[in-house]
Structure 1
Amino acid sequence: MKNREGNKSVLGICYVLCYLLFLTACGQGQDNTNKPATVSPTITVPSPSDHASTVSGTVTFHADNGDIQVPKKPQRIVDLTNFYTGFFLALGVIPVGVLSGSAENPYFEGMLKGVQDLGEEPSPEKILELKPDLIITYTGTEGIEVFEKIAPVVAVEYGKRNYKEQMLEFGKLIGNEEAGKTWVDRWEKKIQELKPMIQEAVGNKTVSILNPYEKGLFVFGHNYGRGGEIIYGEFGLKAPPEAQKAAIDSGTGWASISLEKLPEFSGDIIFTCPWAGDTSDPKIVYDNPIWKQLPAVKKQHVFQLNPKADTYNDPVSLDGQLDFISDSLLSIK
């Protein structure tokens, strides 16, 4: 889901290749003993002391991958997650390198000028060229050992914290907790203003988040992006009972269903978009009589999300989603 598994496998391949190159470089002669380790003949991996000399001291950060010595004020962050880039942007720190998913997020338009798009298969060589002082990735990512030769690595366990908790955590990481608190306070104020109006407009209607994909549909819940954090979490709107059970009460945040089961999972209001993880044609669902007979479709209570943007649940993306979701729900008659 969300391309995290694909990123891990790619990074695993990078690790194997780089490790072999590292062994080759180390074995090229005894006179290399006092030289920095390399992952290729032309690229030098900085030692930990090299990093320390470029920043005004380090601090211990209690990350999900252990206690990590990080710069007090990291300035050259490489984000290898796609899903955390918006946190740093909201905190006022622009990464020097991101994956393509972040680079293509419409909500980040104009915010990533000069930032290196590392693609979806980032090579250690590309990362080295950016001279990062901090690398962000997921826990369990293969090849973390290689990245640790480049810069301190903070790994995050996806889903361990909600987005507000994660915002405060990243505020600590960059040495600016106040910026994290400021965003959370501003966000909660906006929710308090909107929530009564949204609940009055929606009433007892149920809301579904549905993505067609090659084998059927994904049903999303409260913690897997696509507006779920806002719809179910902040606004407290109701999902259909089957969707509530499968995608929310289960704690997974999502469920997969066949087209035949769609009526059981469909709410009075639907937010939908094609699944970004495959190339299947969503018209297989949208043109199907089962879909066309849904009450929400007949009443035109269906709203199209953006598959390149609404997958994310970072502060910048959530701000954009909040506007779209609020406008959509307030238009319900």
Structure 2
Amino acid sequence: MKRNGRLIVGLVIILLLMLSTACAGKNTELNKSGTASGDSGNSNASVSDKQRVVKSLKGDISIPSEPKRVIGLSVVYPEFLYALGVTPVAVQNYHQEFPSYLKEPFKNTLKIGLAETPNFEMILTAQPDIIIAPIWWADKDYDQLSKIAPTVLLPQRDNWRDELRDIGEVLGKKDQAEKVIQDLQHKEAEAKEKLHALVGNETVMYMMIMADGLVIYGENIDRGSFIHKKLGLKPVKDFPQTELSVTISLEKIPEYNPDHIILQLDDESSEKVQNRYKELIDSSLWKNMTAVKKNQIHIMGGKEWFSLGMSPLADYNAVSDVLHAFEKKAK
């Protein structure tokens, strides 16, 4: 019996040793995979690989290293994001429909409108990993936005190229931002050469029909600079150089009398805009203008040109629009 008792005790000890070894091995494997508690240093290293710190006007912000769900607030930030290869999950929108160059890529993007105060509930519904916005647009809403997701506020810039570079810095896409800028410069230079061959020294006036008036853009404002400086189309000589734009009455238009008119309707769906357009084209003053008599009126879409001079995508597509319009009239 004593011998049997010793044998039993021995077997129990062996079993206990086997169980202990198995548990230790299991814990080691779990720690390697990061799914169980263990060395806190390893766990922190894993987290830090998924996060990085970027600079913002509110200080350093920790964001996901590779954010998948991004929101860019203001009407042009979504265009910057897409130019950098990022499709935003939600956008603030001025028009009900997206411009043609964003219609397909943004087909699943949530529209949250353009109220003075953002729709925080819809932004929360979009489940963003990160929110990016210019400080002039979102400073007042920063506290609420940062409760939804890490929010990076960027400085106000006079040139969209600097805005694009800022966003590229945040997303780790600096090289891509520079490529977008260079590609557009190349396209503009090519178009400028073609347009000079088509138009020469004939004058061009860029006019927008708005609900409350008719506006002519000069060469020192973003929109006018794109037409007259980037594409080299000669402005009318009597435009006041001290003004960025001029709101004029129908009776004043013949005073400028250009060879070509680039005509944009601010919002094609607006009844007031459509009524003002009809009043314009039915007027004898309009019909007697040189551009009208030569059939050199080039009509551009409101949605398509809404961000003109403020976004690389809008500018890139507008280059094609202008070339197509002038080539068509030249045939």
Question: Structure 2 length as normaliser, TM-score?
Answer: 0.72
Deviation at 1:80, TM superposition (A): 2.7
For residues 112 and 172 of structure 2, the distance between their equivalents in structure 1, rounded to whole angstroms, comes to 26
Deviation at 1:222, TM superposition (A): 4.5
For residues 260 and 156 of structure 1, the distance between their equivalents in structure 2, rounded to whole angstroms, comes to 44
Matched, 1:239 2:230: no
Matches within 5 A, 1:127-206: 127-141=123-137, 142-155=140-153, 160-206=157-203
Partner of 1:286: 281
Root mean square deviation, CA, Å: 2.8
Partner of 2:122: 126
CA contact (8 A) 1:68 1:152 kept: no
For residues 62 and 260 of structure 2, the distance between their equivalents in structure 1, rounded to whole angstroms, comes to 46
Alignment-mate amino acid for residue 297 of structure 1: V
Partner of 1:113: 107
Change (3 A) 1:263 1:178: same
Matched, 1:299 2:294: yes
Change (3 A) 1:193 1:275: closer
3-state SS of 1:59 partner: strand
Alignment-mate amino acid for residue 69 of structure 1: I
Deviation at 1:301, TM superposition (A): 0.6
Partner of 2:98: 104
Deviation at 1:321, TM superposition (A): 1.2
| Long gaps (5+) in structure 1 | 1-52
Deviation at 1:271, TM superposition (A): 0.9
Alignment-mate amino acid for residue 181 of structure 2: V
Deviation at 1:215, TM superposition (A): 3.4
Deviation at 1:325, TM superposition (A): 0.3
Alignment-mate amino acid for residue 61 of structure 2: Q
Alignment-mate amino acid for residue 310 of structure 1: W
Alignment-mate amino acid for residue 211 of structure 2: E
Residue of structure 1 aligned with 2:69, choices 73, 76, 81:
76
For residues 263 and 170 of structure 1, the distance between their equivalents in structure 2, rounded to whole angstroms, comes to 44
Matches within 5 A, 1:85-100: 85-100=78-93
Matched, 1:261 2:252: yes
For residues 205 and 77 of structure 2, the distance between their equivalents in structure 1, rounded to whole angstroms, comes to 25
Change (3 A) 1:87 1:244: farther
Deviations 1:200-237 (A, max 9, x none): 221111211111223330112447666x4532231222
3-state SS of 2:105 partner: coil
Change (3 A) 1:190 1:140: closer
Deviations 1:146-194 (A, max 9, x none): 2233234344566x33233332232212111111111122222222323
Change (3 A) 1:308 1:266: farther
3-state SS of 2:229 partner: helix
Matched, 1:275 2:263: no
For residues 83 and 119 of structure 1, the distance between their equivalents in structure 2, rounded to whole angstroms, comes to 13
For residues 214 and 284 of structure 1, the distance between their equivalents in structure 2, rounded to whole angstroms, comes to 12
For residues 153 and 282 of structure 2, the distance between their equivalents in structure 1, rounded to whole angstroms, comes to 42
Partner of 1:59: 53
For residues 267 and 295 of structure 2, the distance between their equivalents in structure 1, rounded to whole angstroms, comes to 24
For residues 100 and 201 of structure 1, the distance between their equivalents in structure 2, rounded to whole angstroms, comes to 36
Alignment-mate amino acid for residue 229 of structure 2: G
Residue of structure 2 aligned with 1:215, choices 212, 216, 241:
212
For residues 155 and 258 of structure 1, the distance between their equivalents in structure 2, rounded to whole angstroms, comes to 41
For residues 222 and 157 of structure 1, the distance between their equivalents in structure 2, rounded to whole angstroms, comes to 25
CA contact (8 A) 1:83 1:312 kept: yes
Greater RCO, CA 8 A, separation 6+: 1
Change (3 A) 1:325 1:57: same
Larger radius of gyration: 2
Of residues 216-225 and 316-325 in structure 1, the stretch that sits farther from structure 2 once superposed is: 216-225
CA contact (8 A) 1:68 1:153 kept: no
Deviation at 1:119, TM superposition (A): 2.6
Partner of 2:22: none
| Long gaps (5+) in structure 2 | 1-46
Partner of 1:311: 306
Question: Structure 1 length as normaliser, TM-score?
Answer: 0.72
CA contact (8 A) 1:70 1:134 kept: no
Change (3 A) 1:101 1:223: farther
Alignment-mate amino acid for residue 325 of structure 1: V
Deviation at 1:294, TM superposition (A): 1.4
